[in-house]
């Protein structure tokens, strides 16, 4: 599913770009059915990073936590002292409401993209509860959306979860914020658990984390979340098949138990007759010790068989109850799967119709103002006749409202100097509008970007000093000035000369080719 971003408040100004300058537990499903649907669009950091962690390194965070869960039946705090930890909150003495895993992000947590947060959760589920990677990936998507829907709703959590869970939650942290800037130190992702021992396919209750509210939110995505929703349907169908098998097995055991019960009851009737005869003989010869012993032995056999019959009745009742429970679960999963498949089919047709409608529509690329305060923009593809957005870049940190064509790509300055973020010169492809390359050097946050003779000029940041740089459209550094400049200097260029503001505030003249001072 395509990652999305916070769109709750923004200025919908679109700067049209001309061709010369383009600016072993069960997560229960029923606990989220009582709240109205809310649109969940995550804001991620999508610019360059100062340190890039591999996907494997990110997954290892969750894998290590999951491997530390040694006994799912007992509450535990896993991973204390790190950037991430899990509170495994279970109470077998309380039968109502849900247990939970609470995934906590410490203030030092550096995750800034929902995709990476989901990777951590997915690998945790795989290692802790033996989920396949694909199923865990699917669950992690729904879990994050579920927690965003219920962010801060402490009364909801109290109504659905056991005290052992809710005592760990705080209103300002419970759930998942939409913006990555609010994740570190402010996140308690709640994974509802209804079976803290069994584990396996139904450890995470798919009905709870994929109710109509969650699905409605996913349908707001540009691709309507179709792929991940299909994956969830497949999980439910597998759950239904497993539950059906368990129901049939329990029913078979109940039938066999009934047969054994009948045989034992017939046996008991015979034993009672024998015991009665033995008792009469013993009473007729009170001095005969052997007869008394035989009578006592006969009574013991009767008592033993009676106990066996009571145990057998209890087992039969348990199997009947289990068969009913598992069959109900199978029916529920199948019903949900059928309903969701019908909805997915309708959504797919809508996407096909929309794609067909946009296929031959004249389009243009534009910048939409994404964050007015920070002057950050996002690249969009729009219908030239209506201005309707056809597609939108996931990169929401394009700086200074400037972007230029570069073959099949666009060049821009993008990024933020926050957390693990950094500002660089980047290339974005025209199809997906994602970052495909970035400069080796760090760019000043308030640098302008100027194009001249098919080359680019911007301001680099090096050890609290700033210098003018010249790049080609492949982001190769061609020259750097020795003259230090103001970080936000304008760059005015004619055929051979650049005019910039040096660090003292004076105008400096630089050669357009090698950026050396013009004498």
Q: Are 257 and 79 in contact (CB under 8 A)?
A: no
Helix axis angle, 133-149 relative to 114-129, nearest 10°?
Answer: 120
Rounded CA-CA distance 118/134 in Å is: 12
CA angle 385, 391, 394 (to 5 degrees): 145
More confident residue, 435 or 21: 435
Contacts for 265 with CB less than 8 Å, ≥ 6 apart: 309
Q: What is the pLDDT of residues 152-209, one digit of tens each?
A: 999 999 998 999 999 999 999 999 999 999 999 999 999 988 777 777 788 888 888 8
Q: What is the pLDDT of residues 260-278, one digit of tens each?
A: 989 989 998 998 998 899 8
The pLDDT of residue 12: 33
Smallest CA-to-CA distance from 252 within 330, 331, 307, 326 is with 326
Q: Provide the 3-class DSSP secondary structure of residue 222.
A: coil
Q: With DSSP H G I counted as helix, E B as strand and the rest as coil, what are the percentages for the chain, rounded to 5? A: 40, 25, 35
Residue 32 confidence class, pLDDT cut points 50, 70, 90:
very low
Q: Provide the 3-class DSSP secondary structure of residue 112.
A: coil
Local structure of residue 297 (DSSP, 8 states): H
Q: Is 167 exposed, middle or buried (0-12, 13-18, 19+ CB in 10 A)?
A: exposed
pLDDT of 20 > 60? The answer is no
Q: Are 74 and 87 in contact (CB under 8 A)?
A: no
Q: Name the region of 122 (left: φ>0; alpha: ψ -120 to 50; beta: rest).
A: alpha
The pLDDT of residue 206: 86
Rounded CA-CA distance 225/35 in Å is: 21
The pLDDT of residue 38: 62
Q: Are 73 and 196 in contact (CB under 8 A)?
A: yes
Rounded CA-CA distance 35/217 in Å is: 12
Q: Provide the 3-class DSSP secondary structure of residue 76.
A: strand
pLDDT of 287 > 70? The answer is yes
Rounded CA-CA distance 390/52 in Å is: 31
Rounded CA-CA distance 89/76 in Å is: 7
- Which residue is listed with tokens 């305060």? 373
The pLDDT of residue 18: 37
Rounded CA-CA distance 427/473 in Å is: 9
For residue 399 the two structure tokens come to: 């700086």
Q: What is the pLDDT of residues 240-256, one digit of tens each?
A: 999 999 999 999 999 99
Q: What is the pLDDT of residues 410-424, one digit of tens each?
A: 999 999 998 788 999
Q: Where are the beta strands (DSSP E) in 3-49?
A: 14-16
Rounded CA-CA distance 224/447 in Å is: 37
Q: In what order do the strands lie in the sheet with 450-452?
A: 450-452, 455-462, 465-471, 477-484
Q: Identify the sign of the CA torsion 46, 49, 52, 53.
A: negative
Q: Identify the sign of the CA torsion 348, 351, 357, 362.
A: negative
pLDDT of 16 > 50? The answer is no
- The DSSP secondary structure of 123-191, one letter per residue, reads HHHHHHH---HHHHHHHHHHHHHHHHHTTT-HHHHHHHB-HHHHTT--TTTBB--SBGGG-TTSEEEEE
Rounded CA-CA distance 294/437 in Å is: 94
pLDDT of 14 > 50? The answer is no
Q: What is the pLDDT of residues 111-145, one digit of tens each?
A: 999 999 999 999 999 999 999 999 999 999 999 99
pLDDT of 519 > 60? The answer is yes
Lowest average pLDDT, out of 25-29, 400-404, 435-439, goes to: 25-29
């Amino acid at each position: 599913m395509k990652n999305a971003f916070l769109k709750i408040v923004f200025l919908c100004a679109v700067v049209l770009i001309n061709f010369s300058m383009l600016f072993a537990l069960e997560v229960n499903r029923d606990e989220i059915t009582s709240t109205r649907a809310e649109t969940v669009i995550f804001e991620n950091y999508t610019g360059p990073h100062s340190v890039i962690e591999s996907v494997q390194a990110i997954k290892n965070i969750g894998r290590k936590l999951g491997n530390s869960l040694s006994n799912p039946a007992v509450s535990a705090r896993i991973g204390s002292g790190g950037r991430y930890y899990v509170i495994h909150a279970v109470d077998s003495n309380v039968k109502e409401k849900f247990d939970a895993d609470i995934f906590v992000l410490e203030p030092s947590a550096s995750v800034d993209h929902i995709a990476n947060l989901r990777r951590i959760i997915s690998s945790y589920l795989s290692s802790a509860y033996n989920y396949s990677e694909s199923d865990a990936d699917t669950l992690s998507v729904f879990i994050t959306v579920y927690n965003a829907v219920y962010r801060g709703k402490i009364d909801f959590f109290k109504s659905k979860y056991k005290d052992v869970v809710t005592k760990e939650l705080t209103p300002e942290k419970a759930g998942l914020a939409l913006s990555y800037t609010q994740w570190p130190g402010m996140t308690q992702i709640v994974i509802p658990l209804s079976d803290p021992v069994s584990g396996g396919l139904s450890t995470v209750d798919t009905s709870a984390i994929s109710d109509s509210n969650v699905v409605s939110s996913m349908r707001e995505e540009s691709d309507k979340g179709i792929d991940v929703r299909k994956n969830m349907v497949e999980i439910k169908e597998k759950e239904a098949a497993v539950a059906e098998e368990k129901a049939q097995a329990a029913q078979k055991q109940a039938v066999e138990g009934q047969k054994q019960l009948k045989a034992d009851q017939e046996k008991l009737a015979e034993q009672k007759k024998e015991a009665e005869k033995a008792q009469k003989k013993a009473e007729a010869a009170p001095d005969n010790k052997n007869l008394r012993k035989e009578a006592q032995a006969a009574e013991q056999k009767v008592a033993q068989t009676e106990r066996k019959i009571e145990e057998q009745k209890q087992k039969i009742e348990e199997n009947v109850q289990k068969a009913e429970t598992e069959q109900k679960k199978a029916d529920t999963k199948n019903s949900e799967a059928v309903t969701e498949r019908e909805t997915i089919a309708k959504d797919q047709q809508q996407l096909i119709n929309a794609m067909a409608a946009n296929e031959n529509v004249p389009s243009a690329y534009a910048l939409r103002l994404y964050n007015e305060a920070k002057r950050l923009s996002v690249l969009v593809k729009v219908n030239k006749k209506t201005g309707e957005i056809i597609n939108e870049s996931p990169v929401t940190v394009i700086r200074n409202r400037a972007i230029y064509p570069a073959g099949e790509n666009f060049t821009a300055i993008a990024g933020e100097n926050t957390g693990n973020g950094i500002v660089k010169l980047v290339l974005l492809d025209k199809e997906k509008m994602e970052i495909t390359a970035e400069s080796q050097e760090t760019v000043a946050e308030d640098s302008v970007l100027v194009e001249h003779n098919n080359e680019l000029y911007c301001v680099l940041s090096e050890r609290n000093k700033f210098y003018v740089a010249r790049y080609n459209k492949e982001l190769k550094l061609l020259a750097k000035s020795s003259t230090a400049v103001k970080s936000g200097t304008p760059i005015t260029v004619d055929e051979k000369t650049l005019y910039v503001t040096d660090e003292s505030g004076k105008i400096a003249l630089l050669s357009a080719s090698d950026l050396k001072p013009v004498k």
